[in-house]
Copies of this chain bind each other. A is one copy, B any other.
Amino acid sequence: MELTAFAKEELSAFYEECLAKYRAYQAQELKLDMSRGKPAPDQLDLSRGLLDCITEADLKGQAGDYRNYGILDGIPEAKALFAPMLGVEEDEVFIFGSASLQAMYMTISYAFSHGLMGNTPWCKLDKVKFLCPVPGYDRHFKITEFFGIEMINVPMDENGPDMDMVERLVAEDESIKGIWCVPQYANPSGISYSDDTVRRMAALKPAAADFRVYWDNAYCVHHLNENPKVILPILAEAKRVGNGNMVYLFGSTAKVTFAGAGVAMMAASRENLADLTRALTVFTISFDKINQMRHVKFFDGKFENILAHMQKHSALIKPKFDVVLNTLAAELKPLGIGSWTEPQGGYFVSYDAPAGCAKRIVQLCKEAGVVLTGAGATYPYGKDPEDRNIRIAPTYPTVEELQQAMDLFVLCVKLAAAEKLLNN
C-alpha cells in the first residue's frame, strides 16, 4: 500500500516504528561522507601503473622534448588519444592541465573580460543569462553564479533538456549566452541525451552571436553496462548545419585515472580554439606535458584501452549502483515514496522525494552520521523550487558502508514523508 493511502493511525504507527529504528542508527554513530562523486580507493588502484610508466626516453616525443617549455595546446600523442573520446578531429582538441573545471572557468572568464570572437565582453553588458538544465552539476552553477550570470532552470526528461523551451529562449533572448550540458550520464540524473536532443542542440539558432553550448562530457566512457549507447558527436553535428563555432566540449580523465591529477581537455572548432588561445597564451607557457605523456603511455596511445580500463571501473562500481537501486526499489517503491533514475553509467543516482522533503531527509541523514550532497545543490543558487531532489553518490563508500547508508537513507525518506503527511 502506498504511504499516502495510510489511515492516520497507521501513519502514526509507521512513523513511530521508523523513529525507533532511526534512534538505533543514531546510537551507532556512523560516519560516512557521500557528499561528492569521488572514486573509491580500489578504483584509484587501477591506475597505479601511471606512477612509473614513463621513462626519459618517452619524453622525446613527436613534437620535441616534453620536459621543457612549449606546446601550449598539448602534445600530438595526447590529442590523438583523446580526440575519439570527445568525438572530434585531432586538431579540434586542446589539452589543458589536470581539471576540466579550470577550462570551463577560463572560457567563461575570458568571455566575461574580453568577449568571444570580438563580441562585447560580458562585463560590459547589463545582463547575461545561462540556461541550466535541472537537476544539474553544482560546480557549473557556481561558475556562472560567480560571474553574476543569471541562471534559468530548464527541466530535463529522459531525453535531455526540454528542447522546445531551449530553442524558444535562445532564439528570442540575446542575453542568453550559454547552456550547461552533461550529455551522457548527466550529473545527477544519469540520463543520456537522445539523438534528437543532440541534433536539436547542434542546430540551435541563438539570437546571441556569442552563445555557446558548454558540453561537459565528463562521463563519456563511464558506462555501467555492456553495449552502451554513445551519444552523437555534437561538434560534427553542429558543423554539418553550419554551427561549428557554437559548441565548446570538455572532458577529462579525472574519473578515469587519478581524480585531480588526470588530464583535462577541451574541443572546439579551430576558429574557437584560436580565439581562446588569445587568453591561454597569456595564461601560461604550457600545461604539464609529462602528465599528458604519462597518460599516453599508460593507455599505449589507444582509445580502446581507455574503454577497457573503464570496464574495470564498471566492475567495481556497478555493485554499488545495484545496492542503491535495489534498496530504493525494495523499501520505497511499495510505499510509493518518491522516484529515481536508473542510470546506465556515470557517478550518480538522482532521487526525487515528495515535494518539500529533500532538505529534511538530508538533515535526518546527517544527524545520524551520513553526509549527503546538500539538498538544493543540484539547482542554480542552491534553490530546488520544490525541495525534492537529492543526489546520491554511490562510488566512494564500500559496498557494506553503502548498504548501511542506503538503509539509513530510505528510513530517513520514510520518516520525512510520514512527518509531512502527519503535519498536513
Contact = CB atoms under 8 A, between A and B. Distances in A.
Interface of A: 36, 38-39, 41, 44-45, 47-48, 51-52, 54-56, 65-70, 97-99, 101-102, 105, 109, 112-114, 121, 123-124, 139, 142-143, 146-147, 254, 258-261, 279, 282-291
A69 B287 contact: no
A147 B114 CA distance: 8
B285 A101 contact: yes
Contact of A284 (B44, B69, B105, B146): B105
A69 B285 CA distance: 25
Given A51-B290, A97-B288, 17 more contacts: A41-B67, A47-B67, A52-B52, A66-B261, A97-B287, A98-B287, A98-B288, A101-B283, A105-B284, A112-B113, A123-B124, A139-B285, A258-B290, A260-B285, A260-B290, A261-B290, A261-B291
Nearest to A50: B290
A259 B44 contact: no
B260 A101 contact: no
30 contacts: A44-B68, A51-B54, A51-B55, A52-B52, A66-B261, A67-B258, A69-B259, A97-B97, A97-B98, A99-B284, A99-B286, A99-B287, A101-B285, A102-B284, A105-B282, A113-B113, A123-B123, A123-B124, A143-B282, A146-B279, A258-B290, A260-B285, A260-B286, A260-B287, A260-B288, A260-B290, A261-B289, A261-B291, A288-B288, A291-B291
Contacts of A283: 101-102, 105
Question: 5 closest pairs, A vs B, by CB?
Answer: A261-B290, A260-B286, A44-B67, A123-B123, A52-B52
A305 to B, nearest CB: 20
Contacts of A123: 113, 121, 123-124
A113 B146 CA distance: 9
A259 B70 CA distance: 9
Contacts of A51: 52, 54-56, 290
B291 A288 contact: yes
Contacts of A147: 113
A258 to B, nearest CB: 5
B39 A68 contact: yes
Nearest to A39: B68
A124 B261 CA distance: 36
Contacts of A44: 65, 67-68
A288 B282 CA distance: 21
A110 to B, nearest CB: 9
A397 to B, nearest CB: 13
Nearest to A45: B56
B288 A69 contact: no
A102 B44 CA distance: 28
Contacts of A290: 51, 258, 260-261
A210 B282 CA distance: 22
A285 to B, nearest CB: 6
B143 A260 contact: no
A222 to B, nearest CB: 16
Nearest to A262: B288
B258 A99 contact: no
Given A51-B55, A291-B291, A67 B284 contact: no
A41 B65 contact: yes
Contacts of A287: 97-99, 260
Task: Name, among A67, A112, A114, A121, the residue most crowded by chain B CB atoms within 10 Å (CB to CB).
Answer: A67
